[in-house]
Structure 1
Amino acid sequence: MTIDIDLVLDSSLPQNRLTELGLLAEQYGIRTVWNASYLDGRDPLTNMSDLARRSTSVRVAPMALNAYEMHPYRIGMALLTLNEIANGRAQTMIGGGGEVVMALDIPFEKRVRYVRECLEIVKGMCTSRPFSYEGELFRISNYDPQWVTAEPPVLYAGANRPQMLQMAAKFADGIFMSDLSPSLSRSAINTVHERMAEIGRSPAGFRCNNFMAWYVYDDPEEARHEAKRWIGFRAIFREYMMREFMSAEDFAIILEHIPQIYAMASKNESSVDGVPDELLDQCVDNLTLTGGVDDLDRIIEHLLEFKDIGLTEICLEVKNYPEQGIRLIGERILPAIQ
C-alpha cells in the first residue's frame, strides 16, 4: 500500500508566491496543495486559480469550506469553476466550521446535518445534471450547467468523531482528520469501514487523510519555538486526544489557559505564565512534527506508523522556510515512506 504526501500552504501568501511554491511541490511529486480559508487569510478558491492554471499534475484544494458561512450552491459553483481551470485536479474538504463561523456569530447547530447536506449538494452538482435537492436545511432546483467537462472533484469530509465519520462513510469520497495519533487514526478508519460494511459500500478508492503541522528547521530551537507559538491552533482543547499523553490534572491546566496559549501566535511567544514549559513540550511532541534536520529519521518512523494503519495520505502544514520544507519532504520523506 502506498501513501501520498499533501501540503498546506499559508493562507496569507499572495497568489504569485502560492503558485511558485505549489509548482515547486509539483516538481517533488507532492500530490495535493491545500490552502485554508481563515478569518484573516486570502480567499483560497480565488488564490489557487493561477496554480490550477499553470500546474499539470498537483491537485489544488481549498479547505475547509462549510455551509454556515457559504451556501452549498456557491461552494459547488466555485469548486466546479476551479476544477475546470485545473482540468479535473481540484478537490476540497467540507467541514463543520471554525474561527470564521465564530467571528460571524453563527450558531454551531446541527453540525453533522450541515456537513452532510453540503456534501450531498456539492456532489450532486458535480455528478448529476440536471440536479435538484430538497433537504432539511437547503434546497436547489434544476442546476444544469453546460460548461462542465472535467472529471468531478474529490470531496472530503472533515471528520474526527464517530457521528461525522459514520456520515462521511456514506456521503464523502474521503475523510480528512486533524492532529490524530496513529491509534486514534486507526480507530477513525475502522469506524468508517464498519459503517461502509453496514451500508454495502466498498472502501476501495476511499481516501483517508490526516493533517499534521510541520516544524522541521535547521535550528531545532527555532523549530520548537515556532511549534509552541502556534500550538493553540492544534487540538489542545480535545480531551479524548490530549488524555492519550497527558494526565487529567495537566489537561485542566491547559484548558484553564487556552486564551493565553492561543495568543502566543500573534505575540511571537512560546511560553505562558501558569503553564509549565514541559506541558507545552508534550503538546508539541504529540501533536506536531517538530525538530531539526537530524530528527528526520525519527519523523519518518512516525509517519510510517500512519501508513501501516491505512492512511492514504498525510497532509503537512509548512509555515516558515517553505522551500526548504518542500525540498526536505520531497527528497527525504517521500522516498522513505512510499
Structure 2
Amino acid sequence: MKVQIFLEAGLPADTVAELGSLAENFGVDTLWASSFPGHRDPFLSLAMLARNSQRMRLGVVPISPFEVHPMRISDALLTLNELCGGRASLLVGGLGKSVMRVTGLEPTRRVTAVRECVEILKTAARGDLLEYAGEMYRLAGYQATWATDAPPLVYVGATGPAMLKMAGRVADGVMMSDVPLPRMPEVLGNARQGLKGAGRDAKDFRFNNFFAWHIKSDKQESIAEARRELVWRGILQKWHTSPFLGDSDSDFVEANWGAFMQAFLQRTSVIEGIPEHIVEALVANLTFSGDLKAIDGVIEHLKSFEAAGLDEITLKVHGDADKAIRIIGERLVPELS
C-alpha cells in the first residue's frame, strides 16, 4: 500500500518544501497540497518542492471545474508537471462546501462536469490538438506543445456510485473521503464497474482513501484534536456513520451537524449536546487517533483496507506536520511498503 501525505491548507512554499523533503526521504508516495478559499495557491506552494525533489509525486487537491475552467486547470497542472519532471497529480472534485459557502456557487450535473474536465486534462497532457465539444465545456484549438513530460495523474474525488463509476471509466484513480472499512466492497465495486464498462484493467487504476491522522505522543492531545475536527469526517453523513452507529444515532448526528461545526470553530473538544458514546465511536471509526501505542492497530486496520482492495492511503496530518510525518515515515511506511 502506498502512503501519501495531505498537508493542511495554506502553508508557505518554503514550509511545504521542507516537509516534502522530509516525506520523500521516508519513502512517502505523494505529497498533497490543499486548495481552500482564502489560502495560498497550492500549485504555487508546490513549485519550490517540485524543483528540489526527485521521486515523490506532488499533488493538488481538490480543484473543481465549477470554480476554475478546465483550460486554466490544464495550464496550471501541466506547468507543475513540467517543474517536477512528470510527477504531478491532481484531484478533480465536484465542488466542496467550503468553496460553495464563499462563492455562492451551486453546482449542477456534477458528474458530467467532472468527467468533461478529466477528459480535457488527460487529452491536453498528451500535447495533442484539442477540439472538445462537451455538454458543459468547450475548447477549440487548445494545444500544449511544450508538455513533453510523462502525463500527470488525474484522480476523481468520489464516494457516490455515479461519480465512482465515471471515475473508473475516465480517470487514473479515485480518492474517496473517510470511507469506513465496511463500505469498501460497495465503493470499490462501483469503481470497478466503471472500469469494466470501459474495458480498462483495474491494475492500472489507483484506489485511494483519505483518512484523518491524529496520532501523537500525547493521547489526550490526539483525541482532543480528533474531536475538534470531526465535523469534516465524511461531513458526518449517515452513509459514512451508520455501519458503526446504526440508523438512529446516525440520524441524530446528521440532525445535529451544527454542534460539530461549533466545536471546530471554537477550537474545543467539547461537542455540546452530543452523547459521549457517539463522539467516541466517530473518533474510533473515522480517524486514526491515540498515542504511539495505537500504531500497531492502525497498521492492522490499513492492511484490512488493502485486503479489501485499497492500494493507497492519504493521511491528513494536523498540527505539527513535521512530527506527524516522522511518525508515519518511521512506523507506517516500512510496514506497508
Do the structures match in fold with TM over 0.5? Answer: yes
Name the SS of the counterpart of 1:243 in structure 2: helix
Deviation at 1:236, TM superposition (A): 4.3
Deviation at 1:246, TM superposition (A): 0.9
The alignment-based identity, stated in percent, is 35
Structure-2 residue corresponding to 1:92: 90
Structure-2 residue corresponding to 1:314: 313
Deviation at 1:185, TM superposition (A): 2.2
Structure-2 residue corresponding to 1:297: 296
* CA shift in 2, pair 1:193/1:256, >3 Å: closer
Structure-1 residue corresponding to 2:263: 264
- Whether the 8 Å CA contact 1:236–1:283 is kept in 2: the answer is no
Q: Does 1:70 align with 2:41?
A: no
- Whether the 8 Å CA contact 1:236–1:242 is kept in 2: the answer is no
> What per-residue deviation string (whole Å, max 9, x for no partner) do you get for residues 136-176 of structure 1?
11100111223212111000011111100111111101111
Deviation at 1:128, TM superposition (A): 4.7
Which one-letter code corresponds to 1:186 in the other structure? P
Tell me, which stretches of 5 or more residues in structure 2 are unaligned? none
Structure-1 residue corresponding to 2:242: 243
Tell me, which stretches of 5 or more residues in structure 1 are unaligned? none
Which one-letter code corresponds to 1:249 in the other structure? S
Question: 2-side partners of 1:181 and 1:257: how far apart?
Answer: 21
Question: 2-side partners of 1:296 and 1:79: how far apart?
Answer: 35
Question: 1-side partners of 2:106 and 2:265: how far apart?
Answer: 26
Structure-2 residue corresponding to 1:57: 55
Name the SS of the counterpart of 1:314 in structure 2: strand
Over aligned residues, Cα RMSD in angstroms?
1.3
Name the SS of the counterpart of 1:132 in structure 2: strand
Q: Which moved more, 1:165-174 or 1:248-257?
A: 248-257
TM-score of the pair, normalised by structure 1:
0.96
Q: Which moved more, 1:285-294 or 1:257-266?
A: 257-266
Question: 2-side partners of 1:280 and 1:27: how far apart?
Answer: 36
Which one-letter code corresponds to 1:316 in the other structure? L
Name the SS of the counterpart of 1:213 in structure 2: strand
Question: 2-side partners of 1:270 and 1:128: how far apart?
Answer: 50
Question: 1-side partners of 2:127 and 2:143: how far apart?
Answer: 9
Q: How many residues end up aligned between the 2 structures?
A: 336
- Whether the 8 Å CA contact 1:93–1:158 is kept in 2: the answer is yes
Deviating above 4 A after TM superposition, structure 1's stretches of 4 or more consecutive aligned residues are none
- Whether the 8 Å CA contact 1:196–1:202 is kept in 2: the answer is yes
Which one-letter code corresponds to 1:8 in the other structure? F
Structure-2 residue corresponding to 1:335: 334
Name the SS of the counterpart of 1:10 in structure 2: coil
